[in-house]
Amino acid sequence: MATGWRSTLLIFAALIWAAAIGPLKPFRQALTTAQPPQRILVLGGDLDRERVGMRLAQQLELPLVVSGGSNPEYAQWLLKDAGMDQSRVVLDYRANDTFSNFTSLVDDLKSEGVRHLLLVTSEDHLPRAMTVGRVVAGSRGIRLTGVPVSCQPSCRRKEELGKRLGDGIRALTWVITGQDLKPWAQRRWPQWLPTP
């Protein structure tokens, strides 16, 4: 057991060291950009998020990206009902969790020249989403501004710090290695990282 902790600490120390000496320019760009928001990114998982994202997109006249949202038929109906120009909306279903909401999209957004996103998600999910997003999107020079959506009375109490930290480390390893190391870690330490 002690050997497992030592190897885990060694891996994390190596990742932190690699991040410290790696190229920091994209992160500096993300932190210092004065670029106004260019897109709205809604993290799926709740219809209220999609509704708020649509209203915001209409008010600000910005394109909308919904990652992992409601089923395509319902999403299309929502867009039509809201009177949105469907050519300004991307429904992306590649993601299956908060981490992949970002990793599946950031390279596409970067290639389109996006430097600033408004991130719409539930208020109880926003801190973890911002942690992951600042690492993943920040590595591509993309700044995030969080837009919390009220989820009362059904909010989960504050998400566990361990979940936020775990997803943050997962994001950092993805930036450094280009790989999602969670499947490897679940095989290596199944008692700590159960498979859902």
Give the model confidence (pLDDT) of 120-137 as tens digits: 999 999 999 999 999 999
Say what percent of the chain tops pLDDT 90. 49
DSSP state of 67: E
- Nearest in space to 120 (alpha carbons), one of 163, 150, 165, 76: 150
- The pLDDT, as a whole number, for residue 52 is 94
pLDDT digits (tens, 9 = 90+) for 74-111: 988 988 998 998 899 999 999 999 999 999 999 999 99
Q: Do residues 151 and 46 lie in contact, with contact meaning Cβ atoms separated by under 8 Å?
A: yes
Q: Tell me the C-alpha distance between 133 and 180, whole Å.
A: 15
pLDDT at position 2 over 50: no
Q: Do residues 118 and 62 lie in contact, with contact meaning Cβ atoms separated by under 8 Å?
A: yes
DSSP state of 86: G
Q: Which of the listed ranges 8-17, 71-80, 174-183 does the model predict with the highest average pLDDT? A: 71-80
Can you tell me which residue has the tokens 């885990």?
A: 8
- The pLDDT, as a whole number, for residue 56 is 96
Q: Tell me the C-alpha distance between 44 and 13, whole Å.
A: 33
Bond from prior residue into 153 cis (ω within 30 degrees of 0): yes
Q: Tell me the C-alpha distance between 63 and 88, whole Å.
A: 5
Q: Tell me the C-alpha distance between 46 and 159, whole Å.
A: 16
DSSP state of 35: P
Q: Do residues 128 and 167 lie in contact, with contact meaning Cβ atoms separated by under 8 Å?
A: yes
- Tokens representing 63? 């394109």
- The pLDDT, as a whole number, for residue 147 is 97
Answer CATH for 25-187 from 2.40.110.10, 3.30.565.10, 3.40.50.620, 3.40.50.80: 3.40.50.620
The structure's pTM equals 0.81
Helices (H), the chain: 2-21, 25-32, 47-60, 72-82, 98-103, 106-111, 126-136, 161-177, 182-188
